[in-house]
Structure 1
Amino acid sequence: MTTKTVVLVHGALTDASVWRRVCPILQAEGHAVIAPALPLRTLDGDIAYLRRFLETLPGPLVVAGHSYAGSVLSAPDALTAAVRALVFVAAFQQDAGETAGELNGKFPGSLLGPGNLVVRDYPGGQEAYLRPEMFAPAYAADLEPAEARVLAAAQRPFDPAALSQSFDGTATWRTLPSWAVVATADRSIPTEAQRWMAGRAGSKVTEVDASHGVPLSQPDVVARVLVESTKDVTAPYSG
């Protein structure tokens, strides 16, 4: 049997540990799992980083993205020919010429507005954090309060400029089979935006009553979708 590797890509405000409850379920199913860390500085930089990372892995690959990572996965230059399927977990499914910020504002409901962010300087730019008291409402309302406080303290910040950047070429979800986990209690990426993007992409949709932190709050659901996606690994990426 062909060994499939599942690549789990985190988004903004959390790091690869957001997948810590999904990983053991996939590993118990016999899949190799790896979760890289994105720089979260520019969209182009994250695209280039993921591409270089994927070039080090043998195929076939299933690549999943949470939140902002969906924008990265959507870019044709981010993937290699070893990628066979994509899974968007409460994630952007961005098209050429679009921005994540534009998609996030397409429908009401997001708490990721400027008033709920703290922006700090770093060498070369700025990075954004959710205000600690807003982390649970915006990201992790269905997690234990103590866990939400830890996540708020250990945020992986992003450069907000990345949300206004786009890419050229045919979006990957137009040529690869895709799945989408839609979180119906999401206050980061509005649920209606997730539904709209998944419908446009023709993704196989699973809806779950969960916050934006769905990989942590509903790992069984996310893992089940990922396992399903590994069964469709025949068509190579044509981008």
Structure 2
Amino acid sequence: MKKLSQFARAFCAIGVLGLQLAAPARATPPDRPTIVLVHGAFAESASWNDVARDLRARSFPVIAVANPLRGVKSDAAYVGAVVASVPGPVVLVGHSYGGSVISAAAEGRPNVKALVYVAAFAPEVGESAVDLSGKFPGSTLGPTLAPPVALPDGGKDLYIQQPLFGRQFAADVAPRVSGPMAVAQRPVTEAALGEPAPAAAWKHLPSWFVYGDADRNIPPAALSFMAERAKAVRTVVVKGASHVVMVSRPGPVARLIAEAAEAKAPRD
């Protein structure tokens, strides 16, 4: 009986410890917007892992969407459906081509309170990613692309050649990380990069921009031009950062997203 009593006490203690470990460290404050992260071409949702970890530590709910990368309108409709499923306010964050997607996905979505462009396109209505990347010199993406993959519907999928991926896309990322990124890269259709933007939500939503000054996919001059045109609330230029600034420098990216999420006053 004594052994049974000791066992019962020990079992109860373990149970209490388990409940303590299972309980969340911090409950999400009710006014915290959900951060919806949208990756771009040649990336995937896992490219947001470190940024998402930082934001979750700040008690923000986070969703990293698997962007289809099939076309601006269709991708925006998909992301818009995710946004519509979220109760409460949303901050939409786009990387690279994902910027074109969030610019359209936010249109007509009253729960989107802010946009954050991470080395991303912010096109005017009618502009495409190809238009904007060619507006200023500096992009070296073209020669690094592999031969297009012909699709059953007549379209073409684009990839970066794996041996050139690190230097082109993620020059400031350790090879042990950029190597698997090259293998897991998600292709974008050729048509998506040339598709005119159907909407430009940055015209009426407060927007934040962050990019690296060593970006080889989108010329930094083009990124600066788009940030100025959008009258960005704040623009952060990360010295020496590549196109995947959210992978190589997640801290400044997460801090800017948190700033956008916590901003109270709308842009004038």
Candidates 138, 142, 148, aligned match of 1:109:
138
Q: Are residues 1:144 and 2:161 paired?
A: no
| 1:108 Cα deviation after fit | 1.1
Amino acid at match of 1:230: A
2:108 aligned with 1:67? no
> Is the counterpart of residue 187 in structure 1 residue 216 in structure 2?
yes
Tell me, yes or no, if structure 1 residue 13 matches structure 2 residue 42.
Answer: yes
More helix by share: 2
Match of 1:22, SS?
helix
Q: How far, CA to CA, are the matches of 2:56 and 2:108 in structure 1?
A: 23
Kindly provide the CA deviation profile for residues 100-126 of structure 1, in whole angstroms up to 9, marking residues without a partner as x: 10000111111221x321211233221
| Match in the other structure for 2:197 | 167
Residue in structure 1 matched with residue 165 of structure 2 by the alignment: 135
Deviations 1:52-79 (A, max 9, x none): 1111111211110001000111126655
State the structure with bigger RCO (CA 8 A, min sep 6), 1 or 2: 1
1:87 maps to: 116
Secondary structure, counterpart of 1:8 in structure 2? strand
- The correspondence for 1:199, drawn from 216, 219, 228, is 228
Count of residues in Structure 1 that have an aligned counterpart in Structure 2: 234
Whole-angstrom CA distance in 2 between matches of 1:47 and 1:234 = 26
SS of residue in 2 equivalent to 1:35: strand
For residues 106 and 113 of structure 2, what CA distance do their matches in structure 1 show? 15
Report the TM-score, using the length of structure 1 for normalisation: 0.93
Mapped contact 2:144–2:168 kept (Cα < 8 A)? no
- The C-alpha deviation readout for 1:173-227, integer Å capped at 9, x for no partner, is 0100000002111001111110010011011101102000111100001000011
Q: Matched residues in 2 for 1:168 and 1:148: separation?
A: 33
Answer whether contact 2:246 2:253 (CA < 8 A) is retained. yes
Distance 1:76 1:219, change over 3 A: closer
Note if contact 2:106-2:112 (Cα within 8 Å) is conserved in structure 1.
Answer: no
Give 3-state SS (helix, strand or coil) of 1:130's partner. coil
* 1:123 aligned residue (152, 159, 165): 152
Which SS does the other structure have where 2:262 is aligned? coil
Aligned-residue Cα RMSD (Å) equals: 1.6
Decide which of 252, 260, 264 is 1:221's aligned counterpart. 252
Select 1:155's aligned residue among 185, 196, 206: 185
Equivalent position amino acid for 2:203 in 1: R
Normalising by the residue count of structure 2, what TM-score does the alignment of the two structures yield? 0.84
Are 1:44 and 2:73 matched, yes or no? yes
In our comparison, the structure showing a higher alpha carbon Rg is 2
Tell whether the 8 Å contact from 1:74 to 1:95 is kept in structure 2 after alignment.
Answer: no
Aligned partner of 1:26 among 33, 41, 55: 55
Amino acid at match of 1:29: R
The one-letter code matched in structure 2 to 1:185 is A
Instruction: Give the match's secondary structure for 1:20.
Output: helix
Q: Deviations over 1:138-188 (max 9, x none)?
A: 11000111211111111100001111111345x110100000002111001
Task: Indicate the percent of aligned positions where both proteins have the same amino acid.
Answer: 42
The residue matched to 2:158 in structure 1 has which SS? strand
**Which residue identity is paired with 1:117?**
L
CA shift, 1:3, in A, is 2.5
Q: CA 1:76 to 1:174, structure 2 compared with 1: closer, same or farther past 3 Å?
A: farther
